[in-house]
Chains A and B, each alone.
Chain A
Amino acid sequence: MKLNELTIQQAYDGLKAGDFTSVALTQACLDRIQKRNKTLNAFISVCGESALREAKEADAMIAAGKQQPLTGIPFAVKDAICTKDVRSTGAGKILDTYVPPFDATVVARIRAQGAVLIGKNNCDTFGHGASNENSMYGPVSNPHDETKVAGGSSGGSAAAVADHQCLFSIAEDTGGSIRFPAALCGIVGLRPSYGRNSRYGIMPMASSLDTVGPMAKTVGDIALLAEIMAGQDPKDLTTVPDSVPAYRDKLKMDVSDLTVGVPKEYFEVDAMDAETKAMVESKIAALEDAGATIVPVSLPHTKYAIPTYYIIVPSEDSSNMGRLDGMRYGVQEQGNSLKEVYANSREHGFPAEVKRRIMIGTYALSSGYYDAYYRKAQKVRTLIMQDFQKVFAEVDVLITPTAPYPAWDIGEKVHDPLAMYLADMLVGPAALAGIPGLSVPVGTTKAGLPIGLQIMAPRLAEMQLFQVGHAIESLQ
Chain B
Amino acid sequence: MKVSVQEVENIAELAHLSLTAEETKQYAEQLSVILEYISMLNEVDTEGVEETCQVTGLMNVTREDEVAACDPEMREKLIAAFPDKVGNLLKVRGVFQTY
Q: Point out residues on A near B: beta carbons under 8 Å.
A: 98-99, 101-102, 194-195, 208, 234, 237-238, 240, 301, 303-304, 307-308, 310-311, 318, 322, 325-332, 335-344, 346-347, 350, 352, 355-356, 358-360, 362-363, 366, 373, 375-383, 385, 417-418, 421, 433-434, 459
Task: Judge whether B11 and A363 touch: CB under 8 Å.
Answer: yes
Select A307's contact among B8, B40, B49, beta carbons within 8 Å.
B40
9 contacts between A and B (CB under 8 A): A101-B81, A194-B55, A208-B54, A237-B61, A304-B44, A343-B16, A355-B27, A378-B53, A381-B51
Q: B44-66: contact bitstring with A at CB < 8 Å (1 yes, 0 no)?
A: 10100111111110100111000
Instruction: Tell me, in angstroms, the Cα distance from A346 to B14 when the chains sit together.
Output: 13
Please tell me which one of the listed residues A301, A318, A359 contacts residue B8 in the complex, with CB atoms under 8 A apart. A359
Is there an interface contact between A418 and B37, defined as CB atoms closer than 8 Å?
yes
Q: Is the CB of B83 within 8 A of A327?
A: yes
**Which residues of chain A have C-beta atoms less than 8 A from B56's C-beta?**
194-195, 238, 240, 434
- Is the CB–CB distance between B74 and A237 below 8 Å? no
Residues of the B chain whose Cβ atoms lie less than 8 Å from the Cβ of A194: 55-56
Q: Give A359 Cβ to nearest chain B Cβ, in Å.
A: 5
Known pairs A238-B58, A327-B83, A328-B90; A379 contacts B15 (CB<8 A): no
- Within the assembled complex, what's the spacing in Å between the Cα atoms of A344 and B33? 27
Cα of A346 to Cα of B19 in the assembled complex, Å: 10
Which residues of chain A have C-beta atoms less than 8 A from B84's C-beta? 332
Q: B48 CB to closest chain A CB, in angstroms?
A: 9
Determine the main DSSP class of A at the interface with B.
helix
Chain A residues with CB under 8 Å of B33's CB are 417-418
Given contacts A240-B56, A417-B34, 12 further A-B contacts (CB under 8 A): A194-B55, A237-B58, A237-B61, A240-B58, A311-B41, A330-B83, A338-B95, A339-B16, A356-B31, A359-B15, A363-B3, A363-B11
Question: Which A residue's beta carbon lies closest to that of B55?
Answer: A434
Given contacts A344-B18, A363-B31, contact A337 B54 (CB under 8 A): no
Cβ-neighbour of B37 out of A307, A358, A378 (below 8 A): A307
> Closest A-chain residue to B91, C-beta based?
A327
- Whether A347 contacts B41 by the Cβ 8 Å rule is no
Q: What CA separation (Å) do A380 and B42 show in the bound complex?
A: 10
Is B69 in contact with chain A by the CB < 8 A criterion? no
CA–CA, A328 and B90, complex, Å? 7
Q: B86 on the interface (CB 8 Å rule)?
A: no
